[in-house]
Amino acid sequence: AVLGSEASALPPKKKVCVIGAGATGLASAKHVAEYPDEFDLVVFEKNSYVGGLWNYTDSVDVDEHGLPIHTSMYKYLRTNLPKELMAFPDYRDFLGEERSCVKHETVLAYLQNFTDHFNLHQYIQLHTLVEKVETVIGGGDWHSTTYKVHTRNLDDDTKSVTVCNALMIGNGHYFNPRIPSIPGMDTFPGRVLHSHTYRKPEDFAGQTVAVLGASASGTDISIEVAETAQKVYLSHNKDRIKSELPANVEQVSGVVAVDGNTLTLKDGMTITADAFIFCTGFTFTYPFLDESSGIKVIDNQVYPLYKHLVNIEHPSMAFVGLPLLVVHFPLFHVQAKYFVALLRDEFKLPSKEIMMKDTELNGRRQRYAHFLGDAQWDYNDALAKEAGFEPIPSYYREGYAMWHAYRTAKVLHYKESDLRIDENGKPTIVNPK
Ligand code: FAD
């Protein structure tokens, strides 16, 4: 009887489902798992491993279960951010490499070590694909909404339904290529691919390659392909990259039409190419969400979200890891901590009217709705303030400002330098080129 009364005195635990065990899902799981008396946690991951897109494979087609390959990682990728900034604030040990811009396998090992360190394996169900999520409105406030998460075990094909009180979605957004339509593209006789399926420069030895798009991947892939290709055209409509590039990389304006091997550019010039790589980004997709979620994705704006994170219609549903042009891992940390504080009623959300203001584009195109860039630091600090926890250390902001300026000026050589943070939290670039 005593046991019974003690048990009934405990508040009922909330069930929290996390979708995906990439960096986002792992950060989410870590913060939920800090409250074992309050939350029951389960993480569903379709792959047979944690770490998401940092699991490199030569394969570009389908995996052993016939599902499209998730990762967009390429063979020789080194990070474009120093590990000193990539690391989560609560787990700084990037083991194995002294250099700041580490190989993809080092990041994967870091995420695996993070999983071990915080004992997260016990919550993670691998080989488990989330196929559908139904949102079921309860009778009370937003806490009474539940989610029916339909999953399929990819090994034995058994299906299950898990009912949970909160959902943290971390399925990633670099797996569904966005390919603009260019008149005549179907007449191009050479190899056409998207950065999602780019793997290694050897595949382009001796060729002339057109790379469309000069964001992080377009620039990085152009420099890499230039090692084996005869010539690379980096085609884009942004301001010209002023930094030194390999001698065989030429910046040209965007491709507007294709006729066989001949590409017509925005400025009227023509070039010829043997291969074409689209580095034109990705389309966000949540194939498991139906209308009951209240969420629409319009040209990569996930709507309606408060703070790029909380579903305004059902605030117990979060889209963790959505912002772009950010230092990802520390931002995931802040978002996960914020959302867990919300679930614990440590703070109250503002009115729906005020939250809806957050969805306004203020002149931006929808496609850029979740681009944060320099605004990420105030964003991180605002979340910490609203939820009442310590902001992340200021060396992230200062180190990134330093690194970003350096990277922009030295596109070709910045990965040979390192960023160090001293014991007083002061960042410095060492071995500058
Ligand atoms: P992912 O790593 O994509 O993980 C999502 C997980 O969800 C996957 O494991 C997937 O299998 C699972 N999943 C998806 N759908 C389902 C479903 N229906 N059911 C079950 N599971 C599902 N960031 C940096 O900080 N530094 C860098 O240098 C850097 N370089 C990058 C280079 C490239 C080429 C790319 C594409 C990204 C790079 N990033 C970099 C950004 C990177 O996206 C983030 O750092 C981060 O790893 C993303 O983690 P995620 O968990 O959001 O997504």
DSSP-derived secondary structure for 38-65? TEEEEEE-SSSSSSGGGS--S--SB-TT
Question: What element of type H or E holds 340?
Answer: helix 328-343
Give the number of the atom of ligand 1 that is nearest the alpha carbon of residue 50.
Answer: 9
| Ligand 1 pocket, residue 71 CB under 6 Å | no
Give residue 41's Cα distance to chain centre. 22
Mean pLDDT (the chain, rounded):
96
User: For the segment 127-186, what is each residue's pLDDT rounded down to a tens digit?
Assistant: 999 999 999 999 899 999 999 999 999 999 999 999 999 999 999 999 999 999 999 999
| Ligand 1 pocket, residue 403 CB under 6 Å | no
Tell me the average pLDDT across 106-117.
98
Residue 10 — pLDDT band, cuts 50, 70, 90? low
Closest Cα to residue 151, out of 31, 291, 310, 17?
17
ipTM above 0.95, yes or no: yes
Tell me the average pLDDT across 97-125.
97
CA distance 83 to 90: 14
Tell me the average pLDDT across 116-122.
98
- In the block, tokens 């690379």 appear at 232
Q: pLDDT at position 299, please?
A: 95
Q: pLDDT at position 9, please?
A: 64
| Ligand 1 pocket, residue 333 CB under 6 Å | no
| Ligand 1 pocket, residue 114 CB under 6 Å | no
Stated pTM of the model: 0.96
Q: pLDDT at position 180, please?
A: 96
User: For the segment 234-250, what is each residue's pLDDT rounded down to a tens digit?
Assistant: 999 999 999 999 999 99
Pick the residue with more confidence: 5 or 102? 102
List the residue whose alpha carbon is closest to atom 22 of ligand 1: 20
| Ligand 1 pocket, residue 20 CB under 6 Å | yes
Q: pLDDT at position 96, please?
A: 85
List the residue whose alpha carbon is closest to atom 12 of ligand 1: 20
- The Cα-based distances of 223 to 34, 77, 83, 388, 413 in angstroms read 43, 11, 21, 44, 10
53 C-alpha to center of ligand 1: Å?
A: 4
User: For the segment 352-364, what is each residue's pLDDT rounded down to a tens digit?
Assistant: 999 999 999 999 9
Q: pLDDT at position 95, please?
A: 87
For residue 294, is it left (φ>0), alpha (ψ between -120 and 50) or beta? left
Q: Which two tokens stand for residue 373?
A: 């860039």
> What backbone torsions phi and psi does residue 406 show, to the nearest 5 degrees?
-65, -45
Given a cut of 70, is residue 5 above it in pLDDT?
Answer: no
Given a cut of 50, is residue 1 above it in pLDDT?
Answer: no
